Amino acid sequence: MADLTVELLRAEAGTFAEIESGHDEPALYGVTDGKAVGTYFEQKFQAYLHKYDYEEGSSAKGIDFPSLGVDMKVTSIRQPQSSCPYKSARQKIYGLGYALLIFVYEKTDSPTTATGRLNIQHVIFVEASRTADFQMTTGLLAVLKNEGNKDDLIAFMSDRMLPVDDIEASNIADELLEHPPETGFLTISNALQWRLQYRRVIDRAGSVPGVIRVK
């Protein structure tokens, strides 16, 4: 049994999306709960990958492919977003710490056959280095480019309501002066869990570094 690699995962994601887009599923008929649709799709994709040797994720491990550093997200084209665990405010600046494999579907139901179908419209792979917040990273980079100092960086983070105290803001500002962030392409909303929004990666996939269009 071959080991699953990131390259194989991306290739198989594209193939699986094509297969699933032509599949009529009775269990999905009339289902409007996005979480239920996502669970169905994720379990089916994991089963499809069982021809490979890899570590399967769990809620304890936090992401779907821990050994590859990749988490899978399944979301509707109507509102392409999902949530993820909040670990640190730094994730908004330096990324989530893992890559994202995003499947964006449009769901249709057929009353004639009493089945639902997921037309997978986009499959996008966002490298870990590009999973930070777009406005936060581009704003901080602009401050740095404009000869910004530590006070300017702290003021910017405060204006953007980054959820940190004064000590952490000071530490992050020092780090930013030494290690400017990469531009991220997610929109990350502050909440008890991060809310990740994907319109920008859908629009930019294949045209910016680190955001790969698989399908």
45, part of any domain: yes
192 pLDDT exceeds 70? no
Residues 64 and 24 occupy one common structural domain: yes
Q: Is residue 193 part of a domain?
A: no
The Cβ-side half-sphere exposure at 44, using a 13 Å CA radius, reads 19
pLDDT higher than 80, residue 82:
yes
12 and 77 together in one domain: yes
Q: What is the pLDDT of residues 47-64, one digit of tens each?
A: 999 999 998 886 666 899
- Does this model's pTM top 0.75? My answer is yes
Give 210's contacts (C-beta < 8 A, 6+ positions apart): 126, 127, 129, 130, 182, 185
State the CATH number of the domain containing residue 12: 3.40.210
| b/e code 202-214 from CB counts within 10 Å (16+ = b) | bebbeeeebbbeb
Residues 101 and 164 in one domain: no
CA pair distance 73, 196, nearest whole angstrom? 10
Decide if 75 is inside a domain: yes
Give the model confidence (pLDDT) of 39-50 as tens digits: 999 999 999 999
- Does 170 lie in the same domain as 205? no
Residues 154 and 172 in one domain: yes
Domain count of the fold of the chain:
2
Question: Is residue 104 located within the same domain as residue 145?
Answer: no
Note whether 162 and 106 are same-domain residues. no
Asked if the structure places residue 189 within a domain, the reply is: no
Whether residues 55 and 107 share a domain: the answer is yes
Whether 209 maps to a domain, the answer reads yes
Same domain, 14 and 39: yes
Answer yes or no: is 187 within a domain.
Answer: no
Same domain, 110 and 33: yes
pLDDT category at 190 given cuts 50, 70, 90 is confident
Boundaries of domain holding 51:
6-81+97-130+199-213
Residues 120 and 148 in one domain: no
